[in-house]
Amino acid sequence: MDRDLKYIDTLKRKWLTIFLLLYGVFVFLPLLAPLMMQWNFQGIGRAIYFIYSFLCHQLPERSLFLFGPKLMYSLNEIQAVWQQTEDPLILRQFIGNPDMGWKVAWSDRMISMYGGVWLAGLFWGTLRKFNRKISIWIFLLLALPMALDGVSHFISDFSGLAEGFRYTNHWLAVLTRNSFPDSFYAGDALGSFNSWARWLSGLSFGFGFVWWAFPYVSESFVQRAQTGSVNTATLIPD
């Protein structure tokens, strides 16, 4: 009984640290894939790509590249060195090369979404005394941008990765009266509308999820510890 009580008390105090460590491995392991390829540990690098391919589309034009001259490459640049195709199943197989650098095993959206949860958890733990629980409706509101962005991309891609309405964003150019450079509207490069939409909507989801869910997790550990203490006290005779 004492051992169980100590275990519960430890979880009450350390659950966030344990989460950040274990979840952090899951979130940041894809960043090791390009590092392993660069250091010529290709077996480890390819294993990371393979494992995370079940969790992410890994399209190269929507992913970051490390150890190369650019952080992101356009679809045309990928096709020039890989294959002249828009088939996602073929494009996702491109992991990079020594000249262009190596692809991170997460797409930019996955980095933003999963990394946003980790970063928000870090902030939440630091600011815990000042935190206020948000309602499920506020969380859903914060998650809505990512849902709209992801669903619209999914629909758009049926018309072709370089032809869909989310690739050209002509609708946005009309709404903004072409106030921004052409590079802002078309494509997925850093600084484009699509890039900003994925990074910001993923962070919005991550912070919303943490501020909604983490208070419940913390309260459950506190209640469990209090219940354990009461149960232990009832076993001690007067």
What pLDDT band is residue 234 in, cutting at 50, 70 and 90? very low
Q: pTM value?
A: 0.87
In this predicted model, what pLDDT tens digit does every residue of 134-150 receive, in sequence order?
Answer: 999 999 999 999 999 99
| CB atoms near residue 228 (< 10 Å) | 19
φ, ψ of residue 56 to 5 degrees: the values are -155, 145
CA neighbor of 200 nearest in space, from 162, 149, 164: 149
In this predicted model, what pLDDT tens digit does every residue of 142-172 receive, in sequence order?
Answer: 999 999 999 999 999 999 999 999 999 999 9
Indicate the average pLDDT of the chain: 90
Percent over 90 (pLDDT), the chain: 79
Residue 101 tokens, joined? 């650098």
Q: Which residues contact 86 (CB under 8 A, 6 or more apart)?
A: 75, 160, 161, 162
Domain housing 175: 2-234
In this predicted model, what pLDDT tens digit does every residue of 72-130 receive, in sequence order?
Answer: 999 999 999 999 999 999 999 999 999 999 999 999 999 999 999 999 999 998 887 77
How many independent structural domains does the chain possess?
1
